[in-house]
Structure 1
Amino acid sequence: MATNPSEAEGAAVEIGIIGGGAAAVALLDTLSRLDAAPGGLTVFEATPLLWRGRPYQPDLPAVRVNAPPESMSVRADDPRHYAGWLRDRADLAEHHDPGLDQPIVPRAVFGEYLEHTARAASTRLRHAGWRVNVVNARVTGYSRADAVLHTDQGGRHRVDRAVLCVGGGYPADHYGLSGAPGFVLEPYPLARTLTDIPADRHVAVIGSGLTAVDVAVGLAATGHTGPISLLSRSGMLPPVQQRPVPLQLRHLTRDRVLALAGELTLDRLVELIRAELRDLGQDFDSFVEEITETGHSADWLRRQLAAVDSPHLGRRLLTLAIRVAGPTAWRLLPERDRTLLRESWFRAFSGLSSPMVPGNARTLLRLLDSGQLRLVPGVTKIEPGQPGFHITDTRSRWRADHVVNAVNPAPFATPQQASALVSALLVDGRAELDQAGGLCAEPLTGRLTSAGVPDPTWHVLGNLAATSLPIATNPFGLAVASEGVARSLVAPRD
């Protein structure tokens, strides 16, 4: 039985993609390579950041991607797609990271890759007979009766299938500092937010993860001479990425994980990791010790840099597995195992999936050794002062001139720009919130579910899906998830 009149009459399927960032690019590329009957496709993006999203807009050259090219492809069946695009750039040698012996380019360059991929995919779709349009408006609602998307500009767009590709949104103001002179809630682009800070002022950065690293490195690149303090509860820095070596997963593969659907558990995943390490002649206990080591000092960072060429392959292996098989495994694990990973292993897996590149680590170490940078754990309160800010940690109360937020949105947070639409879907019963956060969805198709029943129209791809990894979504992970979503979008409905 068809789900709407157009499908009943055999008309072309109309697809709406809400959001125009990296998830939408991966989905467009996948759709463009499917052998499917052509229809209509409309991308809705209200911001000027079409295809780039928040992370990959033009910015300081010092703001780099956090992974080598082979980990950044938006094409799941071609991990070297991005590396191939990058190879012919005249400025590639300028971005060589000697620690990784790989090009680590500014994020804006990766944004160019996303734009190129989206344009190429749109061209292929049009050549195949698809109608492809981009609407610069925010989708705010949906009419079930006539299958129409409503935009904030009064537009009405009929769709048969729709996908939420809205990303992770923007940071929250955890300390209520918005409006205070000298406070920066959204740090990106750093080229805009850091230029108004006088070079000799004390800058406190909320967070000590990758965004905080970007801010510290960005300040150093702009010639900042004043103190920099990274504030957090733990004071832990991300681990440093190790030099890639050729590794081929033999046990912990996507196909093996898919074959275990319905039987996959965390214990089975550990068995597969043990098997991978055994084949490499590596010790499992040493591997566990290595991935659980955390640190918050210059000496720890020095040890991490010294281990860039470590002969032990466990961290590299797990990082590869998280990127290649992680998104699929997460969607298939039982909830009890996902809860255990979220509560006990979140920091370790988040750091392994997105470690900082050695170039940034060397800059941080230089700043730490000089005394310009310090790590401040145990922060409990940040208050506006007259002027500046008063900061309280477990040891003292002190003052900073400027505060830059570097805490990313929480996993599964609904972006503000999508809140009206998501609320409408929840009220209408087309969507349901998972108890752990995010929208409930079928693991392999991304179709929204309510009370376990898949919706005939709505899908979700990326951070908003309860089935997505609760860590920063990497482009390759989006590419993997986009395959099932794309096939569901063009499949006939019974």
Structure 2
Amino acid sequence: MKNICIIGGGACGVAAFIELFVQISTQKLEDQLSITIIEKSKKVGYGLAFGTTEKSHLLNTQAELMGIFADEVEHFSEWLHDNAYRARGRVEEENGDIDHAYTSRILYGDYLHEQFASHLKKAKSINLNVELVCDRADDIEVDGERFKVILEKGNPIQSDYVILALGNPEATNFKDFQRYPHFINSPWPAHKMLEKIDKKAHVGILGTSLSSIDAVVALMDHGHEGKISLFSPEGMLPRVQPIENNEIVRSYLTLKNVHMIKRKHFRAPKVKELFRLFMRDAENVKKGPIDWKEQDRLGKKADDYLAKDIELAENGGDAILNVAYSLRYDAAKLWSWLSEEEKNRFKKWLGPHWAVNRHGMPLSNAKRLKALMDKGVLTVHAEIGDINPHENSFEVEFGEKGKKTVDNLINATGSPSQVEDMDCTLTENLLKKQLIHPYPSGGILVNELTLEAINKSKVCGIYGTGHLLNGMMLDVNAVWYNVRSIAALCQDILFKARYGENC
């Protein structure tokens, strides 16, 4: 009997287990395969992202796209119809529309845990051997034609295939500050952050992305009275997600048109070509020219844009938001067609603009931020410079001559992109053994179709998911994208298990 080991029990780990169960049970392979899930937390499905007890920590994607089944993306919204008003958590909706609601993260964690428990019970009913191990995986050894997964506390686990569903590692870019008690390296979990901060303190937050907004919301929910200052290189807040995006059909930035560039010019497309096509689509939707210089928010005052963004979101968004949203299902393929050089060019040139337009904040959070800005409680600063730690404070420089002293500093810059920078014992050991190989744009090198790791040791059977693939793949922090990719991963494992290895 062959074993499949899933390392990590967050959203990706749950998706991998459920998809494996579905494929194993429908192919009648329960007497040939077993599954082991390694998760250091006692409850599967939550992780840092969905284990937060803060009811104002909302998902940044509408419910209709959060189903844990690859071909049933609407499953979560269907679950919400039956459970939202008796389950813990919060549901932000307009006009009673559950499908377009933004729910609290803990409510989604409850959904994941319930689906895991339900399918674990079903697995036992068909005699599929599934073992849940509460431990941390620190290393993987190649043991003949099998793997030996080394645990922090327990005995090693023999396995034939390993799925790395490790979640998002903590930021490592300000390690030197971690010795200061008034520095918080991550806004997750929120209770650790809140326990350290006095309610009257002036709080500085490094980063202006969705994680920094979650930190602001958590502080205010717990009665914070002091000022809050956000600092980042660009100083751009995420745009505001419309209640419901206006549906559009792109005429220019299409897979067909980009593929024509490949076959006509015998080369990969360039980022500038994709952006020109994007511009044409946006102006076509707007039915007129767009002042693209005005759209460049780098270094400009965030509060000047927020009120306008809220108004646009209440009316279906603007052309740029809607074109970006319409690319949801094509962006990953377009990304795969870019060369490494062009991927890096995109990250440096368009990355921040894509991020704020494609990954917007829920409308309810935007309104809360606007109220704080109007009161002078919240400020956003661009062009972050030197950060100087003191015994009880931090001095943060920004812009040409800007400088602020804050009592506490929260690092909300997000997980490191490069696998070498990830604070993870397991990935460090796998790198040393060359069982995984870094990808220049971030994460590890994998087969894009199956997510199997490509390594110098030519060892087959290790697969990656989620943030670990942040360079080769796009949208790796989106549940719907990971679920879809994991389905292909599981199909590859079962094909090999059934018909033999052919690496």
TM-score category, normalised to shorter length: 0.7 to 0.9
- Aligned residue among 465, 486, 495 for 1:461: 465
| Partner residue, 1:33 | 22
**3-state SS in 2 of match to 1:479:** helix
**3-state SS in 2 of match to 1:144:** strand
- Aligned residue among 437, 443, 446 for 2:442: 437
Letter matched to residue 29 of structure 1: I
1:25 and 1:348 map into 2 onto residues whose CA distance is 32
1:455 and 1:254 map into 2 onto residues whose CA distance is 37
| Partner residue, 2:479 | 475
Q: Deviations over 1:331-367 (max 9, x none)?
A: 4443233223222111122223321111111111111
Q: RMSD of aligned C-alpha atoms?
A: 3.5
Deviation at 1:171, TM superposition (A): 1.8
Question: In structure 2, do the counterparts of structure 1 residues 116 and 288 end up closer, same or farther at CA, with 3 Å as the change threshold?
Answer: farther
2:453 and 2:176 map into 1 onto residues whose CA distance is 34
- Aligned residue among 76, 80, 85 for 1:90: 85
Q: Deviations over 1:442-492 (max 9, x none)?
A: 0110111125x9642111111112654466611111112112111111112
- Is 1:403 the counterpart of 2:396? The answer is no
Checking the alignment, whether the CA contact within 8 Å between 1:169 and 1:413 is kept in structure 2 is no
Deviation at 1:44, TM superposition (A): 1.0
- Is 1:23 the counterpart of 2:12? The answer is yes
Letter matched to residue 184 of structure 1: I
- Is 1:52 the counterpart of 2:42? The answer is no
- Is 1:13 the counterpart of 2:8? The answer is no
Checking the alignment, whether the CA contact within 8 Å between 2:240 and 2:310 is kept in structure 1 is yes
Range moving further from structure 2, 40-49 or 356-365: 40-49
Identity of aligned residues (%): 19
Q: How many residues of Structure 1 are paired with residues of Structure 2 in the alignment?
A: 479
Question: In structure 2, do the counterparts of structure 1 residues 240 and 466 end up closer, same or farther at CA, with 3 Å as the change threshold?
Answer: closer
| Partner residue, 1:79 | 73
Q: Deviations over 1:165-193 (max 9, x none)?
A: 11221122527221213221122222342
**3-state SS in 1 of match to 2:41:** coil
- Is 1:42 the counterpart of 2:31? The answer is no
Checking the alignment, whether the CA contact within 8 Å between 1:448 and 1:458 is kept in structure 2 is yes
Checking the alignment, whether the CA contact within 8 Å between 1:97 and 1:358 is kept in structure 2 is no
| Partner residue, 2:352 | 347
2:234 and 2:79 map into 1 onto residues whose CA distance is 39
Question: In structure 2, do the counterparts of structure 1 residues 449 and 256 end up closer, same or farther at CA, with 3 Å as the change threshold?
Answer: farther
Question: In structure 2, do the counterparts of structure 1 residues 151 and 443 end up closer, same or farther at CA, with 3 Å as the change threshold?
Answer: same
| Partner residue, 1:69 | 63
| Partner residue, 1:447 | 452
| Partner residue, 2:164 | 164
| Partner residue, 2:494 | 490
| Partner residue, 1:142 | 140
1:132 and 1:254 map into 2 onto residues whose CA distance is 43
Deviation at 1:209, TM superposition (A): 1.1
**Which structure has the higher relative contact order (CA within 8 Å, separation 6+)?**
1
**3-state SS in 2 of match to 1:33:** helix
1:432 and 1:186 map into 2 onto residues whose CA distance is 27
Output aligned runs, 1:35-434, within 5 Å. Answer: 35-36=26-27, 37-38=29-30, 39-48=33-42, 50-88=44-82, 89-90=84-85, 95-98=91-94, 102-146=100-144, 147=146, 148-174=148-174, 176-245=176-245, 247=247, 265=269, 283=287, 286=290, 295-308=300-313, 309-310=315-316, 312-322=318-328, 324-393=329-398, 394-413=400-419, 418-419=424-425, 421-434=426-439
Checking the alignment, whether the CA contact within 8 Å between 1:58 and 1:108 is kept in structure 2 is yes
**3-state SS in 2 of match to 1:218:** helix
**3-state SS in 2 of match to 1:204:** strand
Q: Deviations over 1:147-171 (max 9, x none)?
A: 2222122412111111111122112
1:229 and 1:265 map into 2 onto residues whose CA distance is 40
Task: Write 1 or 2 for the structure with the bigger share of helix.
Answer: 2
Letter matched to residue 220 of structure 1: M
Letter matched to residue 392 of structure 1: E
2:295 and 2:402 map into 1 onto residues whose CA distance is 32
2:238 and 2:389 map into 1 onto residues whose CA distance is 29
**3-state SS in 2 of match to 1:307:** helix
Checking the alignment, whether the CA contact within 8 Å between 1:97 and 1:359 is kept in structure 2 is no
Checking the alignment, whether the CA contact within 8 Å between 2:417 and 2:471 is kept in structure 1 is no
